[in-house]
Amino acid sequence: METKIHTLVALVRDKPGVLNRIASLFRRRGFNIDSIAVGPSVETGLSRVTVGVSGSDAEVEQVRKQWEKVIDVVKVSDITSEPMVTRELALIKVKASRVERSEIIQIVDIFRANIIDVAHDSLTIEVTGDGNKLSSLYILLKDFGIKEIARTGRIAMTRGAGKPL
Amino acid sequence: MKISGAHIVCESFLKENVDVVFGYPGGAVLPFYDTLYQYDKIRHILVRHEQGAAHAADAYARVTGKVGVCIATSGPGATNLVTGIANAYLDSSPMVAITGQVARPFIGKDAFQEVDITGITLPITKHNYLVMKASDLPEIIKESFYLARTGRPGPVHIDIPRDVFTELAEFNYPDKVTFPGYKVKPQGHPTQIKKAAALINAAQQPVILAGRGVLVSNATGELKELVEKAQIPVITTLLGISCFPESHALSFGMIGMHGTAYANMAVDAADVVIAIGMRFDDRATGRISGFAPRAKIVHIDVDAAEIGKNVRVNVPIVGDVKHVLKSLNPLINESSRFAWITQLECWREEHPSTDIRECDGILPQYVINKIHEVTGGNATIVTGVGQNQMWSARYFWYNKPNSFISSGGLGTMGFELPAALGAKIGRPEENVWCVAGDGGFQMTIQELATIVQEKAAVKIAIINNGFLGMVRQWQELFYEKRYAATPLWSPDFVKIAEAYGIPGLRVTDKLQVLPAIQQAMEYDGPFLIDFVVEPEENIYPMVPPGASLAEIMEEPRETVHMGKNSSKHISNL
């Protein structure tokens, strides 16, 4: 069976321990979370959780159903096969001597990223995009020496006027 | 008017028609017990170990169909409940477990008898709560009982800090619950039901696999209607036992590792398997890749996540068994399926899994068989786990729903005695027999005291073979008879019983089996019989671990017909 990364989007009740319930379920059933992002949803009292999980279609469907059984979880959708946009954000602190600085700025421009902090020997870059874009930028910046990186989980939304979650 | 959290719990119990609770007091639940003391309508049964409270509540729930309630204090009291909660979770038994917790200011401080019990019960409950305000209690208790009994039933755990019991709040019991994410869809999709009907009507060699879901959904009548209309042989899972009368001509015993040979052969040969309220446990299916290789599978279950979890399914129907069968039955054609049923009957004649070989000593099967004979089958049998469980499943014929009470999913040794207590409390008019192994009996032996204190007339049959029998059987068959840690010394059980004030008999002579059971039945109160049985008797047939149902091992010895066993079905044709 073909294994790929699926994108599951869930609405969950804003209750204490709800993330623990989700994490516990994934661990207990032996499913690996590739990435996770949590934030508010349109509805008050509900949070939106985006999880990347790798597995075959059948395995991920089992994840989805088990996840939906958690009482504080309202709905879980696998949107992998739908047209969608996904975004991640990364903050990258890269070593930058005076000589290298302009070269880095050029790369940052190409990637339409932003420089959000400048120090005498480093630059902090903020970049958003899909996972590939972030990884490509990372590879280019690696030559300069990366001091620190922080990266969010992936968030996703289906395109167009499709039914909202 | 404001009342205390403890009062709110008791008042909520009354709203939920709780009349029996099983529990054990302690520091953190003391304010609750002080309040419970004033409620005459709620009978509290003091167990001797919290595990017993959970098992008793579980069995009480299974025989009554009500939600079982157990109570323990914080820390060790709460952790002692854990096995019983897990047991109820795996067997979908409706239960509300209440634990005391240290007072709110002490939570997270490693206070005396503090443990993160909601963290511990999270993966073994349908849902759990830590109550941080007395005013939240009515809604939480309402939700807990609702969750425990609806959809796929299961245990719900409520952890209540000591100072929440004493905090004052208004008591307004909600009329209904609102769960945005919890939907019970009982009906089943009409299109799927039509597809299932078409598949069943076209089937030449169908079998029904009936599980505990039939009992939970109270659908034994609907199942019988389907079976008789379509003439489909019924095979049950271990926990499905008693969902279809075993005296019925179309009852073909149990599937699985220690199921009947003909049941397993039928599943192997079937062209359509109709799985009803069961979850394809590995002990039932054998090796999955070899399970029902010729069959298309219809799976009816209220839990959507069970569909396709273990076995590929051709027609899934998510819904309550009773509702689904009510819609399905009218679409089913009457049929005789004469050739197929004759085939199964032949297999049953050729592989009579219920026969007992001739033996001078006492065979465990013989004991169970005699309990059936003396009670006329009119008893609730509560078993331990292991060989005693399988012999009980196979050598007693169950006709009344929920008359076989056993720990299926978790396989909890020690379940038998407290569960028999719970069953007897739930069915005081009924004969309740606890069939225990000499190993499992000693795991919860202290509940003898509870049985005496509560005047629960449980009859106890110990199948005493001096071994942890099922493990020994595996050692004999798969570990070249290296009996590591299975020979088991036991005390004189009759003297133990006597110390508890329970009369008992030790039976070593085959001729004494029947009179001993009769004496137990005639005695008005609990009674214990220690049956000293053949030490190395095995339970057959057996599907070896990792094998498919078709690769069943049958008893290697000569079997002799005992009359009654083979006439079980014939007399009811």
Express each pLDDT in B55-104 by its tens digit.
Answer: 999 999 999 999 999 999 999 999 999 999 999 999 999 999 999 999 99
Q: Report the pLDDT value the prediction gives residue B557, as an integer from 0 to 100.
A: 56
- Which residues on chain A are in Cβ contact (under 8 Å) with B118? 17
**A30 pLDDT tier (thresholds 50, 70, 90):** confident
| Strand ranges inside A14-70, DSSP E | 33-40, 46-55
User: What is the domain count for chain B?
Assistant: 3
Q: Which of B316, B350, B384 is the last residue of a domain?
A: B350
CA quadruple B199, B202, B203, B209: dihedral sign: positive
Whether B337 and B369 share a structural domain: no
pLDDT class for B560, splitting at 50, 70, 90?
Answer: very low
Token pair for A83: 């047209």
Given the candidates 3.40.50.300, 3.30.565.10, 3.30.70.260, 3.30.70.270, the CATH classification of the domain at A4-82 is 3.30.70.260
Whether residue B403 sits in one domain with residue B333: no
Do B218 and B121 share a domain, yes or no? no
- CB within 8 Å: A24 and B122: yes
What is the pLDDT confidence band of residue B571, given thresholds at 50, 70 and 90?
very low
User: First-to-last CA distance in chain A?
Assistant: 28
Strand order in the sheet with B504-507: B404-405, B380-383, B432-437, B459-464, B527-532, B504-507
- Domain identity same for B385 and B330: no
**Identity at B249, one-letter amino acid code:** A
Residues B318 and B388 in one domain: no
Alpha-carbon span A88 to A133, nearest angstrom: 9
* Closest to B28 in 3D by CA, of B132, B104, B119, B120: B104
- Work out the pLDDT band at A129, boundaries 50, 70, 90: very high
Which among B446, B496, B491 is positioned nearest to B464, based on CA atoms? B491
The whole-angstrom distance between A153's CA and the closest CA on chain B is 24
Evaluate whether residue B569 is within a structural domain. Answer: no
Rounded Cα gap, residues A26 and A31, in angstroms: 5
**Residue B562 domain-assigned (yes or no):** no
Q: Are residues B166 and B197 in the same domain?
A: no
Distance of alpha carbon B36 from alpha carbon B30, whole angstroms: 10
Looking at the fold, whether B405 and B330 belong to one and the same domain comes out as no
A57 to chain B: nearest residue by CA?
B308
- The structure tokens listed for B117 are 């019990």
Residue-wise pLDDT for B411-458, tens only, equals 999 999 999 999 999 999 999 999 999 999 999 999 999 999 999 999
Contacts of B307 in chain A (CB under 8 A): 65
**Is A13–B123 a contact, with Cβ atoms under 8 angstroms apart?**
no
Residue A25 and residue B309: Cβ atoms within 8 Å? Answer: no
**CATH no. for residue B18?**
3.40.50.970
Residue of chain A with shortest Cα separation from B128: A71
List Cα–Cα distances, B98 to B33, B43, B54, in angstroms.
Answer: 12, 16, 10
Contact A68 B304 (CB under 8 A): yes
Two tokens at A127?
């970049």
In this structure, is residue B556 part of a structural domain? no
> Own/partner pairs for A126-131, CB < 8 Å, 24+ apart?
A126/A89, A126/A90, A126/A91, A127/A89, A127/A90, A127/A92, A128/A87, A128/A88, A128/A89, A128/A90, A129/A87, A129/A88, A130/A86, A130/A87, A130/A88, A131/A86, A131/A88
Q: Is residue B559 part of a domain?
A: no
Which distant-in-sequence residues (6+ apart) come within 8 Å of B317 by Cβ?
B188, B189, B192, B193, B196, B298, B299, B300, B301, B324
Q: Are residues B148 and B240 in the same domain?
A: no
Domain A86-156 classification at class level: alpha beta
Give the domain extent around B309.
Answer: 190-350
Chain B residues touching chain A at CB-CB below 8 Å? 118-119, 122-123, 126-127, 130, 147, 179-182, 303-305, 307-309
